[in-house]
Structure 1
Amino acid sequence: MSSSSPTKAAHEHAVLLNSIADGANQYPKPEHVNYTYGTAGFRTLATKLPSVLFRVGLLAVLRSKRLEGATIGIMVTASHNPEPDNGVKLVDPSGEMLDPSWEPHATTLSNCPSTESLISTFTTLANHLRVDLHQPANIVYARDTRPSGPELIKALETGLRVFGDSVKINDLGVTTTPILHYVVKATNDKTAEYGVPTKEGYNAKMAKAFTTLIGNKGPLAPLYVDCANGVGAVALKDFTDALGDLLPVHPLNTATTTQGALNHMCGADFVKTKQALPPSVHSSGVLSKPGSRACSFDGDADRIVFYYLNEEKANFRLLDGDKIAVMVAMFLVDLVVKAKLDEEHRLKVGVVQTAYANGSSTKYLTSRNIPVTCVSTGVKHLHHAAQRYDIGVYFEANGHGTVLFSDSAIKALKAASPQSPDAANAIKNLLAFSELINQAVGDALSDMLLVEAVLAHRGWGASDWDAGYEDLPNRLVKVEVPDRSIFVATDAERKLTNPPGLQEKIEEVMRKYEMGRSFVRPSGTEDCVRVYAEAKTNSEAENLALAITDLVRFASGQS
């Protein structure tokens, strides 16, 4: 504890609790609202969140002080959700999601019904976690383009400022979720090798690595980018200004100040769930030219999916997270082989998927002896599983993902003595890919460059990439239910243990369809459950999804 006298310490503590009380009184918790810190932090209607933001500020400071002043990140965003929603999540010092053991503390603080209970809970928590409140704390925070952002940031800052001078804050303003994660990781990197902890540092790092990888292969073919009318539009412009004309980018859906435009009929989630072009991209006609390709970010630019129109029939073709993972993993395996590292430093490349991964992608990888791990939905599960490989590729089918290079892999590559120019080039490219990829979190901008670099090296267009395997037809249905908590999943969310008997009925229906596979899981961010179904034909996938949806509705008490 502090070296100050007991009397002074008691006075300082009383002043802190009074400051917390003053702030809490400005942001009382709404009645009849129950908050849960889930996979994506807190997420709900923005009007219900001011008290949560104030309390998240308190928790972030406790976390930083507990970690002896390590910088903690706070991101105010609701990603792909509609504009009236907002949310907040904390980022740990390594750029990863908040340690899961702290999630219940966030939930507990946010649900304190009164100022008195908040102060009591805060004090108990600080003691329980052995937090020295005299320690310094460092916080960096940002928001997306939602109109509710400024008011919520004000509530957050009120929570941070109750601690006075012991907290140093860094407001990144409006930026993407991945850039916030990058800045947190770079700030806490004592070696200063990861990158300069600013937006400009992020752009410079990405531009340098991409330029190295493209070499004399540029300039590349134009790429059309649907920015979901979100913060990705801002980040993309800043980055292309830094990169120059190596990759001609044409941004679409950049109306960040138009009310109601965010994620509306556009963006990665729209494209993935509807399996169709955003109307604005369709009407623009940009994909009618042979060889054209496009991609869509989501609202906070941490997801990306690609797509193009088949030249023969002008059919929409989706290149989602599974397609990205397969292409990237295959390419990295090829580079590792070409690097010809000695037996002691041989690198193992593996892929991590969730149950949403298309069965064809899993089969394609395993048939080529690339190990695949299946985990529960949620970045924290994917990220930790990917860390078990020397090079771990993880992508959710929705387009959220990245590639992790272990510290030992980087050391092996840097220490290698290449036996040929080809091996030297492969090692150089592997190191450049490790710099290009945002290893803190899935990042639409970084992943866009990753895909473009692999396509350039392969000499492929979108149709060449797509030709590797054919997705099984699939459907994803959102089913609103009175109480999603009655649906309990196990086996990486591929099976239900509750409601009793429902899993058996699902499997009975699945057996009626050739290559039929379906699972049901409660959403981590919305009051609904999600039904995934795939089968050999479109009509069978559709019918399987409808049949399972009916089972879910009946099990939840709906006729």
Structure 2
Amino acid sequence: MSLPIDDIRRLADLHQKPRHLHFQYGTAGFRTIGENLESVMFKVGILAGLRSKRLDGHTIGVMVTASHNPEPDNGVKLVDPRGEMLEASWESHATALANAADTDAFIEVLKNLVKTLKIDLSKPSRVVYARDTRPSGPALVAALEDGFTALGVEARNAGVTTTPILHYLVRAINTKSTKDTYGDDSVEGYMQKLSTAFKKLVAGKPASPPLIIDCANGVGAEAAATLSKYLGESLPLILLNTETTTPGALNHACGADFVKTQQKIPPSLSSHIKAGQRACSLDGDADRLMYFYLDDRSQFHMLDGDKIAALVAAFIVDLVKSAGLENEVRVGIVQTAYANGGSTKYLSERLPVRCVPTGVKHLHHAAERYDVGVYFEANGHGTVLFSPETQATLAEHQPSTPAQSTALNHLINLTQVINQTVGDALSDMLLVEVVLAHRSYSGVEWDSLYVDLPNRLVKVVVPDRSIFKTEDAERRLVSPSGLQARIDDLTRKYEAGRAFVRPSGTEDVVRVYAEARLRAQADELAYRVAGLVYDETGGDPATRPGEFL
């Protein structure tokens, strides 16, 4: 069987690549201004079909979203059969296809891809796809569907839904009727799985006060409204920023990224939150989560991904011990260099901590090496992975006391309330609420687990980011030569000082992160390190004073 060249050519001619643009498939897939992505979508439709054929007809996921980016942006990413991110080796294939200059070049790249990867074109190809609420979504999905048509893909449209639900659907479809069945392959199956486990985990606990959710005016608003119906009185939800059809509202002055970068309450929530009341923000596609609260003096306190990781990891360690499984189940946590030093110290005293390069794919793969692997980026994206062997251990373990039996059941229910395919704001929210209920914590007690070191993140535009090379999980520079030694000399002048420099993966900027005991010192260290970078490259400051990314 050969490629249907005539069908591919006919439809490819309708989706020509803009000549002046270069596309790069990265951790978040392809992402740029939505109106520039039509050709990419068509090609991704074909690539997803080929990926499915290469994997013997297993269903591949395609998600059309730009997550926390502003509304004019859009993007697309592929999801592999177990709900995980696209295999890294295929990122270059996606990039090559997307940048084929015209139809003839695209077909040649396709032919070479099929030959190089030994793709059996007689195999079936199956894809499930979805989009978020961006106005550019329908047109981009239409181009994607042309790609499916060109290759003869058996495609299932999951409609408008969150990125984590799409990941869930991929895994549920591929494990259906197997011993590893993940759940019913529907949105209802997702809601039922999470809500049922949550209710079991909080049974007998005092009723939780209502939780305010900032839905970022994105697709998470629709999912949260559905989840609220499933949860009922077990967790009352107050949904704000739910304007999914208001032009320009998506992620504007709200959402998880706003809370993390601005370190303040979204203005639209300020009149709704009282002292002591906890609240959280989703991002535009509901895969990031940030908690926060106001203290008695109405001061804002942010509970970010580091705080979530500390809360959750310590709880799971305690449950493993209570279940009598501390010698059989090894719990570990994975962080990046951006994790706050306060969190790293707190966690290191309780369980193994590993640092990996920035990017979800690095975190996810490292977490898989533990029996129970916890990973959260500071930006609020993360999850908990229970290895297949650990899940078998939980199913087979015979507790010897009532206390062990209770802890064991809690662990089993945690495997159901957690979306183990990807970071999931709604699933993570339920996980946090479980721990708060069991610990009888308010935001104040949670926040006091450890004290964050003041930190600052700035960026510098540089002529060529490729000259910056790192090692030690991006915490140290190996080039330009001598720059790391100057950073070390500077950092030693500050109490609890820590700083690192890493190039952006998507734009010609270098990001500078700094910590110190006092806020003014963290700010000063960040700017002085940024000055070293500027002097080294002759670059221009990327941001006006006071703007941090």
TM-score between both structures, scaled by the size of structure 1: 0.94
**Structure 1 residues 406 and 517 mapped into 2: Cα distance closer, same or farther (>3 Å)?**
same
Equivalent residue for 1:430, pick from 400, 404, 411? 411
How much has 1:226 moved relative to structure 2? 0.7
Please list every run of 5 or more consecutive structure 2 residues that lacks an aligned counterpart in the other structure: 541-549
Residue type of the alignment partner of 1:372: V
CA distance in 2, matches of 1:438, 1:430: 14
Tell me whether 200-209 or 516-525 shows the greater mean CA deviation.
Answer: 516-525
Identity across the alignment (%): 57
Indicate the residue corresponding to 1:171 in structure 2: 157
Is contact 2:276–2:295 with CA below 8 Å preserved after alignment? Answer: no
What are the within-5 Å matches in structure 2 for residues 67-86 of structure 1? 67-86=55-74
Indicate the residue corresponding to 1:64 in structure 2: 52
Residue type of the alignment partner of 2:491: M
Equivalent residue for 1:359, pick from 325, 338, 341? 341
Indicate the residue corresponding to 2:306 in structure 1: 322
CA distance in 1, matches of 2:352, 2:235: 33
Indicate the residue corresponding to 1:558 in structure 2: 539
**Structure 1 residues 38 and 362 mapped into 2: Cα distance closer, same or farther (>3 Å)?**
same
CA distance in 2, matches of 1:142, 1:480: 35
**Structure 1 residues 173 and 528 mapped into 2: Cα distance closer, same or farther (>3 Å)?**
farther
Per the alignment, in what secondary structure is the counterpart of residue 489 of structure 1? strand
CA distance in 2, matches of 1:341, 1:367: 19
What are the within-5 Å matches in structure 2 for residues 436-455 of structure 1? 436-455=417-436
- Is 2:257 the partner of 1:273? no
**Structure 1 residues 42 and 486 mapped into 2: Cα distance closer, same or farther (>3 Å)?**
farther
What are the within-5 Å matches in structure 2 for residues 313-392 of structure 1? 313-341=297-325, 343=327, 346-368=328-350, 370-392=351-373
Is contact 2:460–2:539 with CA below 8 Å preserved after alignment? Answer: no
Residue type of the alignment partner of 1:139: V
Indicate the residue corresponding to 1:204 in structure 2: 192
Q: Deviations over 1:413-437 (max 9, x none)?
A: 1111111111000000000001000
Indicate the residue corresponding to 2:215 in structure 1: 227
Q: Deviations over 1:440-487 (max 9, x none)?
A: 000000000000000001111110111111000011223344443333
Per the alignment, in what secondary structure is the counterpart of residue 393 of structure 1? strand
Indicate the residue corresponding to 2:525 in structure 1: 544
Is contact 2:218–2:251 with CA below 8 Å preserved after alignment? Answer: yes
In the alignment of these two chains, the number of paired residues is 538
**Structure 1 residues 342 and 417 mapped into 2: Cα distance closer, same or farther (>3 Å)?**
farther
Per the alignment, in what secondary structure is the counterpart of residue 452 of structure 1? helix
How much has 1:192 moved relative to structure 2? 5.8
CA distance in 1, matches of 2:507, 2:211: 33
CA distance in 1, matches of 2:341, 2:329: 26
Equivalent residue for 1:90, pick from 78, 92, 100? 78
- Is 2:10 the partner of 1:22? yes
Per the alignment, in what secondary structure is the counterpart of residue 162 of structure 1? helix
CA distance in 1, matches of 2:128, 2:452: 41
Is contact 1:213–1:429 with CA below 8 Å preserved after alignment? Answer: yes
CA distance in 2, matches of 1:497, 1:446: 39
Indicate the residue corresponding to 1:3 in structure 2: none
How much has 1:46 moved relative to structure 2? 1.0
Indicate the residue corresponding to 2:24 in structure 1: 36
Indicate the residue corresponding to 2:252 in structure 1: 264
Per the alignment, in what secondary structure is the counterpart of residue 26 of structure 2? coil
Please list every run of 5 or more consecutive structure 1 residues that lacks an aligned counterpart in the other structure: 1-8
Is contact 2:320–2:326 with CA below 8 Å preserved after alignment? Answer: no
Residue type of the alignment partner of 1:306: Y
Is contact 1:144–1:230 with CA below 8 Å preserved after alignment? Answer: yes
Indicate the residue corresponding to 1:187 in structure 2: 173
Per the alignment, in what secondary structure is the counterpart of residue 244 of structure 1? helix
**Structure 1 residues 244 and 401 mapped into 2: Cα distance closer, same or farther (>3 Å)?**
same
What are the within-5 Å matches in structure 2 for residues 383-532 of structure 1? 383-532=364-513
How much has 1:350 moved relative to structure 2? 0.7
CA distance in 2, matches of 1:123, 1:238: 44
Per the alignment, in what secondary structure is the counterpart of residue 500 of structure 1? coil
CA distance in 1, matches of 2:497, 2:455: 10
Residue type of the alignment partner of 2:365: H
**Structure 1 residues 528 and 300 mapped into 2: Cα distance closer, same or farther (>3 Å)?**
farther
How much has 1:509 moved relative to structure 2? 2.0
Indicate the residue corresponding to 2:285 in structure 1: 300
Is contact 2:461–2:539 with CA below 8 Å preserved after alignment? Answer: no
**Structure 1 residues 192 and 390 mapped into 2: Cα distance closer, same or farther (>3 Å)?**
closer
How much has 1:230 moved relative to structure 2? 0.8
Per the alignment, in what secondary structure is the counterpart of residue 130 of structure 2? strand
How much has 1:132 moved relative to structure 2? 1.2
TM-score between both structures, scaled by the size of structure 2: 0.95
How much has 1:513 moved relative to structure 2? 1.4
Is contact 2:340–2:452 with CA below 8 Å preserved after alignment? Answer: yes
CA distance in 1, matches of 2:348, 2:326: 25
Residue type of the alignment partner of 1:543: E
Per the alignment, in what secondary structure is the counterpart of residue 457 of structure 1? helix
**Structure 1 residues 556 and 75 mapped into 2: Cα distance closer, same or farther (>3 Å)?**
farther
Per the alignment, in what secondary structure is the counterpart of residue 202 of structure 1? helix
CA distance in 1, matches of 2:334, 2:423: 13
Is contact 1:218–1:246 with CA below 8 Å preserved after alignment? Answer: no
**Structure 1 residues 239 and 342 mapped into 2: Cα distance closer, same or farther (>3 Å)?**
closer
Q: Deviations over 1:124-180 (max 9, x none)?
A: 11011111112111100111111111111011110111123xx21111111111000
CA distance in 1, matches of 2:252, 2:390: 42
